[in-house]
Amino acid sequence: MDWLPGAASSYAADLDRIFYVILAITGLIFVGVQVALVYFIIKYRGRKGRQASYVEGSTKAEVIWTVIPAVIIVGIAVASQTVWSEIKDPNHFPTDALEVNVEARQFAWAFTYPGADGELGTDDDYIRYNQMHVPVNRPVVFNLTSVDVVHSFFVPAFRIKQDAVPGMNLRAWFEATEVGEYELACAELCGVAHGLMKGKIIVLSEDEFQSWAAEQS
Amino acid sequence: MNEAITLPGGVTAEPGMRIYNQKLGMWIFLASEVMFFTGLIGAYIILRFGTTAWALPGVPLEEGGTPLAINLTAFNTFMLICSSVTMVKAFAAIEHGDQKGLRRYLVATVLLGAAFVGIQVVEYIALAHEGFLPRCSEELAAVVPNCDLFGSTFYTMTGFHGTHVSIGVLCMIWVTVKAFRGKYTKENHGGVEVIGLYWHFVDLVWIMLFTIVYLI
Amino acid sequence: MATAAAAAAPLADAHHEELSFIRKYIFSTDHKIIGIQFLFASLAFLVLGGVLAILLRWQLGFPGEELPGVGTVAPKFYNSLVTMHGTFMVFFAVMPLLVGVYANYLIPLKIGAPDMAFPRLNMLSFWMFIQSGIVMTASLFVEGGAAGSGWTAYAPLSAVPQYTGASLGQQLWILSIVLFGASSLLGSVNYITTVINMRAPGMTLFRMPLSVWALFITAIIALLAIPIIAAAVIMLFFDLTLGTTFFLPADGGQPLLWQHLFWFFGHPEVYILILPAMGIISDVIANGSRKPVFGYHSMVLAIIAIAFLGWITWGHHMFQSGMNPLLGTSFMISTMAIAVPSAIKVFNWLGTMWRGNIRFHTPMLWAIGFVSLFTVGGLSGIFMASNAVDIFIHDTYFIVAHIHYVLFGGSLMAIFAAVYFWFPKMFGRMMSETWGKIHFVLTFIFYNLTFFPMHILGMAGHMRRIYDPTQYEFLQPYQPMNRFITISAILLFVVQLPFIVNFFWSLFRGKKADINPWQDNGLEWTVPSPPPHGNFAMTPTVYRGPYEFSVPGAEADYMPQSVPPSGSQ
Amino acid sequence: MMETAEKKKQPSYMLIWFVLLVLTIVEVGVAYVSSLPRNVLIVVLVGLAIWKATLVAMYYMHLKFERLRLILLATAPLPLAIILIVAILLEHAR
């Protein structure tokens, strides 16, 4: 059962777990409903001389199938909330992270890295387009903005998606756990070349990243 | 249980709201109008709270004051309130079968409503001369904070209200003509009541808009 | 019953002769004619929406290849296709098919009223709908192309012509939506007034069939939701034309404001599209099972609960939009809550079939298909209600699969059930049962072949609304599946042909229908097929609930609502 | 106010008009004399506006004299309006 793309970030496994739990629960209900439907169709198919039972309802049955879904739903909500706040709540963002500015525009991504001084907004910052180099096993917090329309930063392998809204500075984070190249896509319809607005996330080992960074400045 | 009730407007209603269709329909329509103005006013509130600076009344224009003429509009508000009372007086008159009173008060309502629209047009022209438009002139944009946003919301909200008043005046003229032809009686005057509901609603919206747009 | 019908017929004929053809069939104020007009118009838009879908599916299955006889699909045109397919299907096909057709046709007949409360407004409503449809269709052909910002028209993409390249197209889109909104508003005022004020004696609120309940609640939702979209698109229009700055961040505007306003309308809109379907399905399943609806009162409460919850869940469309994360939590909870009344409905439909004596007439087949497929759509909704899972599946094909399971597998299945069910009443002739069943089986198969694989694409991370999936390495292994979906979609489109042929053939050549071909209980089955102008020869009196099937001791297994209790006359 | 409510059939329309007029004058006055803190001023002005609007709805639109069902119908949109505005405002309370 490997329907989700290969996971390569620290929180991907948590998100996938909830996905598969929901899949299991809904799958069970799905099979239950369809089997009941088919069974009823065969069992209670119309025959001459037979009459349907005059049943108007059953409070007991209805209470049961109100309460059970409600309980399941509460369970799913609680589990989701934990992962949601892990990924999206700014108060839970990792602190010792590499900070990068990400600017989306029609139809490219611009990544601003802090230079040698490690701080953004200084003279030694440098910008790279459509390719984002990040170190493995170190959190990356990025400030996401847009120049023109709403875009969305989506890296399937990292399970991260965050809209880039013009006029807003939104923050998000990920921590890559495996060295390699991953595709970055725009997930929000953003104009004529929306489908071509792609980039690459290149995850390097810490040493490689340091030497890459040294080359840039 | 099966009793049919004849109501103003000559309509027979079955057990339901026990008011005639036209009046019920107008109330339902007004419910949707509430949501329409909620959309506009809500957008204004959100845009305004999303920014820090806004043009305030009682402050000179040069120091970031409002370009709006509040005294003129306060007078206009007064006229709209007056038109509401003449409208309700017209309704009270025909409830007693007073044809003369109905006509006199309806004419007064039409005139007051038309005057409101007229003053609003004068206000718009004056503001446009000052350079206050959905896109402000550069001189004005230099002094009025968020002038473009102010202009956008101001013209949209007051413009839609003005459109509602204008439609109301047109309908009112039609009702007045019918009143002069003696179409309304003590028993049958649904038209006056229904147009009255619309008229008071437009007045009510203005009461909110005046406070929100001009005074806050 | 028979005597009432006989008495009504000559009276109706006498009335009809006074009307010219134009007054009778074109500018008619008769709710039945208006319903039928809506039926023809919105079926035409349904076909148009289908053609657009095939074009965009072609590009996804065979990127860049030439569609025989049409040519290749350019990226800009592709965006217009995405936008217009959504727009036509939501506003001009599904919504008028459910609300325009069946609210108009069924409400007065089912509550025992001679017509709508405001027949002339009703006519106006239809002609405004036609106008808005013409404007929207025209926008496909203007310079710069049709609107290309999605049916959600997210600002600022939609607010600045340079961003999409469509200027006039976007403006016409807005104009059409405003006209459409006005038309729906007039309709809603009419439906609500009619249901409140014009019920026949004895037709208490809890004797109304669930279809009328659902249409009533739907009308309330439309009444209060549509003004919001009207306000929003008008502001968008001013941004485009008058230089206002509501949604333009450079001048202080807020893009998220658009999303809030749009989804504050948009989410209730989803329930406008599904609640009437649920009501119709309840009627058909009770009829097919020859049993009362299981838990009638809780079905009504579930409709009301879904309608109310629909107002406080719009934020789940915006989990990834940069909305306050705390707001995201509350929206997840309210969204999850909707699963409960939805589950009640599904289980109660199953309960209705349980121990029934099921007749598999064509409408019943579609109703069973509805229950089966709506379950899938409802369950897949739980994935995106979970704000954590939504981070991954938002804006992927998982969402596309979900909305199509709800709107096609749900709403459209119900629409077909309704067309087959009420066709005899509308036109006085039966549709072919054999061809109806063939239509159902083929649609059911190709429907699932088209939309089920989209779940798998979504799980793989396939973004929606992208022009060419082969541009992405991680999507290339899924291209065969995309191709499979496209071929299935074309076949799904083709197998609607039996329906079209059956519909028009039956219109002229179908077997004559008698008053009550399905042996149903509703008041509409006590008048001739088609019913005369004014519907009822004399106002009916209602003595019982809508679902008294198989009452123990009764002669027949159905008992129309106007049959007095035995013993009294 | 109390007297008008008692005379159920014939509220004194002129009295309501007078109250509305006075409230309007008070509003404009309050807006100009901005010695009050901004937030208090906003609350006071909106409160006055709601008071005036309620008077119009109650007496001129006769809502006070209608059946409860109609009152419910007429006020049904208000909770929705409040939900919309409050929820979006929370957005900015970040």
> What's the pLDDT tens digit per position in B50-66?
887 888 877 778 777 88
The predicted pLDDT at position B53 comes to: 83
The predicted pLDDT at position B8 comes to: 40
The predicted pLDDT at position C568 comes to: 47
Q: What is the pLDDT of residues C415-471, one digit of tens each?
A: 999 999 999 999 999 999 999 999 999 999 999 999 999 999 999 999 999 999 999
The predicted pLDDT at position C6 comes to: 38
Cβ neighbours of D68 in B, within 8 Å = none
- Confidence band of C184 (pLDDT split at 50, 70, 90): very high
φ, ψ at A182 (rounded to 5°): -130, 150
Q: What is the pLDDT of residues C148-167, one digit of tens each?
A: 999 999 989 999 999 998 99
φ, ψ at C555 (rounded to 5°): -70, -55
Across the range C198-221, mean pLDDT stands at 93
Of A13 and C569, the structure prediction assigns the larger pLDDT to: A13
SS3 of C54-71: the string is HHHHHHHHCCCCCECCCE
| Best mutation target, B52, B68, B207, B216, to test chain D (most D CBs within 10 A) | B207
Given a cut of 90, whether residue A119 has pLDDT beyond it is no
Of C118, C192, C238, the CB nearest to B156: C238
The reply to whether B15 touches chain C by the CB within 8 Å rule is yes
Given a cut of 90, whether residue D94 has pLDDT beyond it is no
Cβ neighbours of B17 in D, within 8 Å = 67, 69-70
Of B24, B31, B92, the CB nearest to D77: B31
DSSP assignments along C477-540, one per residue: GGHHHHHHHHHHHHHHHHTTHHHHHHHHHHHHHSPBP-S-TT---SGGGGS-SSPPTTS-SS--
Given a cut of 60, whether residue C139 has pLDDT beyond it is yes
Domain C30-526 - what CATH class?
mainly alpha
C227–B39 CB contact, under 8 Å: yes
Across the range A23-44, mean pLDDT stands at 96
Cβ neighbours of A194 in C, within 8 Å = 79, 465-467
Nearest to C563 by CA among C195, C202, C105: C202
| Best mutation target, D26, D39, D61, to test chain B (most B CBs within 10 A) | D61
Of C196, C244, C261, the CB nearest to B39: C261
- Confidence band of D1 (pLDDT split at 50, 70, 90): very low
Contact B88, D13 (CB under 8 A): yes
Q: What is the pLDDT of residues C280-291, one digit of tens each?
A: 999 999 999 999
Q: Under DSSP, is residue A108 helix (H, G, I), strand (E, B) or coil?
A: strand
The reply to whether C305 touches chain A by the CB within 8 Å rule is no
Across the range D77-94, mean pLDDT stands at 82
In chain C, what percentage of residues exceed pLDDT 90? Answer: 84
Across the range D15-35, mean pLDDT stands at 87
The predicted pLDDT at position C7 comes to: 37
Given a cut of 90, whether residue B28 has pLDDT beyond it is yes
- Confidence band of D11 (pLDDT split at 50, 70, 90): low
Tally C-beta pairs within 8 A across B and C: 122
Of D13, D41, D57, the CB nearest to B89: D13
Average pLDDT score over chain B: 88
In chain A, what percentage of residues exceed pLDDT 90? Answer: 81
Given a cut of 70, whether residue B147 has pLDDT beyond it is yes
Domains and their CATH numbers in chain B: 5-215 (1.20.120.80)
Domain A12-90 - what CATH class?
mainly alpha
Distance from CA of C251 to the nearest CA of B (A): 7
Across the range B111-133, mean pLDDT stands at 94
Cβ neighbours of B33 in C, within 8 Å = 227
Of B45, B50, B81, the CB nearest to D24: B81
Across the range A63-69, mean pLDDT stands at 92
Q: Which helix (H) or strand (E) holds B78?
A: helix B70-95
Q: Which helix (H) or strand (E) holds C200?
A: none
| Best mutation target, C191, C224, C262, C332, to test chain D (most D CBs within 10 A) | C224
Assign domain A95-216 to its CATH architecture. Answer: Sandwich (2.60)
CB atoms within 10 A of CB A155: 25
Tally C-beta pairs within 8 A across C and D: 25
Cβ neighbours of C324 in D, within 8 Å = 90-91, 93-94
- Confidence band of A161 (pLDDT split at 50, 70, 90): very high
Q: What is the dihedral of CA B140, B143, B148, B150, to 10 degrees?
A: -110
The reply to whether C256 touches chain D by the CB within 8 Å rule is yes
Of C264, C311, C323, the CB nearest to D91: C323
Task: Enter the tokens of residue B73.
Answer: 């509009």
Distance from CA of B100 to the nearest CA of C (A): 31
| Best mutation target, C189, C264, C272, to test chain B (most B CBs within 10 A) | C189
In chain B, what percentage of residues exceed pLDDT 70? Answer: 93
Q: Which residues partner with A135 through β-bridges?
A: A204
- Confidence band of A155 (pLDDT split at 50, 70, 90): very high
Q: What is the dihedral of CA C404, C155, B37, B27, to 10 degrees?
A: -20
Q: What is the pLDDT of residues C212-230, one digit of tens each?
A: 999 999 999 999 999 999 9
- Confidence band of C125 (pLDDT split at 50, 70, 90): very high
The Cα–Cα gap between C92 and C129 comes to 8
Q: Under DSSP, is residue C245 helix (H, G, I), strand (E, B) or coil?
A: coil
Q: From edge to edge, which strands make up the β-sheet containing A126-129?
A: A126-129, A108-113, A98-105, A140-146, A170-174
Across the range D19-42, mean pLDDT stands at 85
C199–B15 CB contact, under 8 Å: yes
Cβ neighbours of B214 in D, within 8 Å = 31
The reply to whether C292 touches chain A by the CB within 8 Å rule is yes
Distance from CA of B191 to the nearest CA of D (A): 14
CB within 8 Å of chain D, chain B residues 70-89: 70-71, 74, 77-78, 81-82, 84-85, 87-89
Across the range C244-261, mean pLDDT stands at 92
Task: Enter the tokens of residue C416.
Answer: 């077909």
CA angle B160, C225, C345 (to 5 degrees): 175
C256–D91 CB contact, under 8 Å: yes
* Same fold? A12-90, A95-216: no
The predicted pLDDT at position D10 comes to: 58
Q: Where exactly are the structural domains of chain A? A: 12-90, 95-216
Query: What is the ipTM, given to two decimal places?
Result: 0.92
Given a cut of 60, whether residue C14 has pLDDT beyond it is no
The predicted pLDDT at position C18 comes to: 62
Q: Where exactly are the structural domains of chain D? A: 2-61, 67-94
B19–D45 CB contact, under 8 Å: no
D87–C324 CB contact, under 8 Å: no
Of C224, C234, C243, the CB nearest to B134: C243
The predicted pLDDT at position C15 comes to: 46
Q: What is the pLDDT of residues C20-55, one digit of tens each?
A: 777 777 888 999 999 999 999 999 999 999 999 999
